[in-house]
Every structure is written in C-alpha cells, then in structure tokens.
A and B are shown apart, each in its own frame.
Chain A
Amino acid sequence: EAQVTQNPRYLITVTGKKLTVTCSQNMNHEYMSWYRQDPGLGLRQIYYSMNVEVTDKGDVPEGYKVSRKEKRNFPLILESPSPNQTSLYFCASSLNANLAGGSTDTQYFGPGTRLTVL
C-alpha cells in the first residue's frame, strides 16, 4: 500500500530535550516536506527536500533541522524543543515539486504527529 508513515504519532516532552520525528514514504517520491498545523493558521511549511541531500527552508524553519540521506526518509529534528513548537506535524511527499494537484502532482500526507513540549 502506497503511504507516508510518521513516528511517533503522539509525543509529550520537556523543553530542551532533543527529539526526532521520523517520516518514510514507499512511493519513490523525490519531493518531501514537513508542515506544522496550528489553529487558524492552516499548514505552514517548515522544510522541504527536492531529492537526496537537497533540502531547503520553508516558511517557518526556526528551531528545526532535517536531513535527506535516503530517498524514502526525511526526519524532522528538534535540537532543543520549546513550548512554541507544540503543534500537529505532517510529513508529505510527492513525485516531484510541481504541486499543482492532479494525479501526478499531488502531495500525499502522513497521519500526523501531535507534539506537546512542556
């Protein structure tokens, strides 16, 4: 089954304790990205990756790191989490960066990771 998986699905942690949220896709997609969803603000892009070893900042990259060492995996790293990073996080992948919708340009989202930083 074609899918994007994220782990963990739920996480409660404390300020300053490094954490990693994993993301994996099995569709051989080149483009992957991370979003955070906050009430009233919709989804905002944190980082994206065009392909292996190619990553770039989205709209809200502060406090986050990513890596893309393999095509299928795109982990999100919070080196020193703070309470303002409490949010719902989504990983997404698509065949390429032409995010125009339609059968080949669609982004597929993971189920989300709800992170609480105390």
Chain B
Amino acid sequence: DQQVKQNSPSLSVQEGRISILNCDYTNSMFDYFLWYKKYPAEGPTFLISISSIKDKNEDGRFTVFLNKSAKHLSLHIVPSQPGDSAVYFCAASRYNNAGNMLTFGGGTRLMVKP
C-alpha cells in the first residue's frame, strides 16, 4: 500500500505558464514533505521542502503548498521553463528510532513546451 501517491504520471505545460504537480499521502505522522527533481541519467536532486506545521514554502519560482486536512500537497512552478522538464518525486519524511526515513511517490514527468 503506497503511503505517498502522485496520481498524474505526466503533465505537459506551455513555457511561461504555471505547472502544478500534486501529491497525496495517507500517513498523518509524516513530519516533512520534500520534492526532488530528476533528469534522465542523473540521480534525484533536492528541490524544496515543507514542514508539516506550515502550509506554504516558497523558493524563487517554486512554491509548495500543504493541506494537512486533505493530506495533499502540491508544487507550483511559475513561470515554467523548458529546463524544468524532468521527473518530479514527492517524498514524505517520518522520524523513527533510526532517524528520518523517506517514502517516495511514483513520480510525475513534467514536459514544458517552448
């Protein structure tokens, strides 16, 4: 049973418009949520995160919104650029006695068209 789900496997957006990537989770014990970006033939790289006690975090063109009651978070990219074309993974972090463990969603492939 996947605790973190990204229901859209792909998304296509025109350059300059907003990209919205969605993520749903089931475990209310997650305490951080992260987004990673992955280009082909490379490992994922950290993009932005949000604490479970906040509802918004912004970093330049990237904003993550968290709706705890709906167990839903989203990543907004404004404006979208062709270089943003990549696979985006949502991840949730929970603490156990060994530190934090990450649970990843299945990923969404974003294509930004010039």
Contact surface of A with B, Cβ cutoff 8 Å = 4, 31, 35, 39-45, 48, 50, 56, 58-59, 90, 92, 96-102, 106-112
User: Which residue of A31, A40, A97, A99 contacts B9 across the interface (Cβ within 8 Å)?
Assistant: A40
Question: Does the CB pair B101–A42 fall under 8 Å?
Answer: no
Give 4 nearest A-B pairs by CB, closest first. Answer: A97-B99, A101-B49, A109-B43, A42-B104
A45 touching B49 in the complex, CB below 8 Å, given contacts A90-B43, A99-B93, A109-B44: no
Alpha-carbon separation in the docked complex, A106 to B93 (Å): 12
Cβ < 8 Å to A, chain B residues 27-82: 31-32, 34, 41-46, 48-49, 51
Question: Does the CB pair A48–B98 fall under 8 Å?
Answer: yes
Question: Does the CB pair B32–A110 fall under 8 Å?
Answer: no
Question: Does the CB pair A99–B106 fall under 8 Å?
Answer: no
Q: Is B25 an interface residue (CB 8 A)?
A: no
Alpha-carbon separation in the docked complex, A30 to B93 (Å): 18
Nearest to A58 among chain B residues (CB) is B101
CB proximity of A93 to chain B, nearest CB, Å: 11
Question: Does the CB pair B42–A99 fall under 8 Å?
Answer: no
A96 touching B99 in the complex, CB below 8 Å, given contacts A40-B106, A41-B106, A111-B41: yes
Q: What residues of chain A lie closer than 8 Å to B9, measured between beta carbons? A: 40
> Can you pick out 28 interface pairs between chain A and chain B where the beta carbons lie within 8 Å of each other?
A4-B43, A31-B99, A40-B9, A42-B6, A42-B105, A43-B44, A44-B104, A45-B101, A50-B99, A58-B101, A90-B43, A92-B43, A97-B99, A98-B100, A99-B99, A100-B31, A100-B32, A100-B34, A100-B93, A101-B32, A101-B49, A101-B93, A106-B46, A107-B46, A107-B102, A108-B43, A109-B45, A112-B41
Looking at chain B's contact residues, the main secondary structure is strand
CB proximity of B16 to chain A, nearest CB, Å: 28
CB proximity of A46 to chain B, nearest CB, Å: 12
Q: What residues of chain B lie closer than 8 Å to A102, measured between beta carbons? A: 49
Question: Does the CB pair B89–A43 fall under 8 Å?
Answer: yes
User: Which residue of B45, B46, B51, B91 has the most chain A CB atoms within 10 A of its CB atom?
Assistant: B46
CB proximity of A8 to chain B, nearest CB, Å: 14
User: Which residue of A39, A92, A99, A112 contacts B100 across the interface (Cβ within 8 Å)?
Assistant: A99
